[in-house]
Structure 1
Amino acid sequence: MGNERLRAAMAAGGWTYASLAAKAEVDPKSVERWVNLGRTPRRETAMRAAEVIGEDVFALWPALRQARAARAVSPELVALYDQRADLPISAFVDLFAQARERIDVLVYAAVFLHEAYPRLNDLLRERAAEGCTIRIAIGDADSPNVEQRGQEERFGHGIQSRCRIALMHYRPLAGTPGIELRTHETTLYNSIYRADDQMLVNAHVWGVNAYGAPVWHLRRRDGGIFDRYAESFDAVWKTATPAQGGR
């Protein structure tokens, strides 16, 4: 069975097997098999091809959306992703949308959330209106730890700028009952996205941008890994400073 979505996208953009193959750095016969036989390319190749065409990689190859199944190492481990880039934005949106009691976010910037889902603030307001307590901790752009992370990732002052952009994105939530925004100066070992008893943990790797680092999806069991990360969030939150104009 062929890949009709890919065929249509190539036709709309005027791509031939040969021209797309050149950009994706593969043989034209490989592209032909993607289209006519429905073959799924390697993840890195698929992402490169999708970017060239201007389409969502998961729309072109839905099989890539599936997480690499985690073996039964821990009953709390739902799934393991090779890198954050493998998660569709819907994974984060659905996580927050399902929350009924609590949403916690600990990041330096994570501006990809607002960039990929402009309704994020509306979603957070809706959850707060339904009774969720929402805590968002973003990096203090003037923190030496943020500056150090930029150097380690060869990102220069870019990460500091992104912290300021993140603050700009979240600032309209200031004063919303149930939502609190703070900035923190801690070393960020992991980015944490929690909704009730589920959590996505983006484990950072020295010298690697967060999108290229692995993510594990946890579901809480008393006294386990989930609680350890939740306690870590609480510890950072206590040291964080209410954002200017925030609650």
Structure 2
Amino acid sequence: MRNERLRATMASAGWTHSTLAEATGVDPKSVERWVNLGRTPRRVTALRAAETLGEDVHALWPALRQARAARAVSPELVALYDRRADLPVSVFVDLLAVAREQIDVLVYAAVFLHEAYPRLNDLLRERAAEGCAVRIAVGDADSENIQQRGTEEKFGHGIESRCRLALLHYRPLLDVPGIEVRTHGTTLYNSLYRADDQALVNAHVWGVNAYGAPVWHLRRNGDGGIFDTYAESFNAVWDTAQPVER
């Protein structure tokens, strides 16, 4: 049965099977099946397509609401990735680039961002210049918790040196209005990358480097959800963190 809502939305916005397929990373035949046969795509693909079209995903594919209820999946979960290494750095960069009000980064080091995207500081400056509040919390290399993490990851002093390197990357931002950089010594259960009402959460697994641990993409959906839990966690760590002196 034809998906009339999807067909009409595409027609009014000028999307063809081919252009929507390219935007969502699928084969044009898949889009044709969505429209002409009423097929329901995978949730991640459906969310990407709905966002591209500026529509509510459940208006386009009501079956997803029933499937979500049956699986008891949180409405705030956009995607789940097996390992951080599975995500291109562009996923993190694109998330931060769309922030208009708030960027929060809570990590021990995450030097992969600067290494793979040397313009990261420029991006943060641009966001801050447009009124976005930027808060960066990196690990205090002298903290016992971070030294313990190095032992658990079997990297020894590697994580301590990565924390120092991360701080060197962010130091040029210390005098930029709207950007704050602090160091923390907390036991970090997850690395957080927040942009307004979206976040990438990189779980920490004992004995596994962060690049080998899962990542979930969250989008806030009302008060008191998973997103708010992580946002409050960031605030709690931020309150204990120490401002970096130039």
Q: Number of residues paired by the alignment?
A: 181
> Aligned runs of 1:94-109 on 2, under 5 Å?
94-109=94-109
* CA positional deviation for 1:68: 9.0
Q: 1:217 to 1:183 in 2, by over 3 A?
A: same
| Equivalent residue, structure 1, for 2:52 | none
| Equivalent residue, structure 2, for 1:74 | 74
SS in 2 for 1:100: coil
**Worse overlay, 212-221 or 70-79:** 70-79
* CA positional deviation for 1:237: 0.2
* CA positional deviation for 1:69: 4.6
SS in 2 for 1:152: helix
| Equivalent residue, structure 2, for 1:138 | 138
Gaps of 5+ in 1: 1-61
> Aligned runs of 1:170-189 on 2, under 5 Å?
170-189=170-189
Alpha-carbon deviations, 1:132-159, whole Å to 9, x = none? Answer: 0000000000000000000000000000
**d(CA) in 1 for partners of 2:83, 2:245:** 33
- Is residue 189–residue 203 contact of structure 1 (8 Å, CA) maintained in 2? yes
SS in 1 for 2:245: coil
* CA positional deviation for 1:226: 0.1
**d(CA) in 2 for partners of 1:243, 1:166:** 12
**d(CA) in 2 for partners of 1:150, 1:166:** 15
Alpha-carbon deviations, 1:156-198, whole Å to 9, x = none? Answer: 0000000000000000001100000000010000000000000
| Equivalent residue, structure 2, for 1:241 | 242
**d(CA) in 1 for partners of 2:99, 2:44:** 24
SS in 1 for 2:135: strand
Q: 1:110 to 1:68 in 2, by over 3 A?
A: farther
- Counterpart of 2:224, as a letter, is G
- Counterpart of 2:144, as a letter, is P
> Aligned runs of 1:10-159 on 2, under 5 Å?
69=44, 72=68, 73-159=73-159
Q: Does 1:160 align with 2:160?
A: yes
**d(CA) in 2 for partners of 1:84, 1:138:** 18
Q: What is the TM-score normalised by the length of structure 2?
A: 0.71
* CA positional deviation for 1:244: 2.0
- Is residue 68–residue 80 contact of structure 1 (8 Å, CA) maintained in 2? no
Moved segments of 4+, more than 3 Å = 67-71
SS in 1 for 2:176: coil
| Equivalent residue, structure 2, for 1:44 | none
**d(CA) in 2 for partners of 1:112, 1:166:** 9
* CA positional deviation for 1:223: 1.2
SS in 2 for 1:206: coil
**d(CA) in 1 for partners of 2:44, 2:114:** 28
**d(CA) in 1 for partners of 2:212, 2:201:** 13
SS in 2 for 1:138: strand
Alpha-carbon deviations, 1:48-67, whole Å to 9, x = none? Answer: xxxxxxxxxxxxxx88xxx9
SS in 2 for 1:160: helix
- Counterpart of 2:78, as a letter, is V
SS in 2 for 1:90: helix
- Counterpart of 1:211, as a letter, is Y
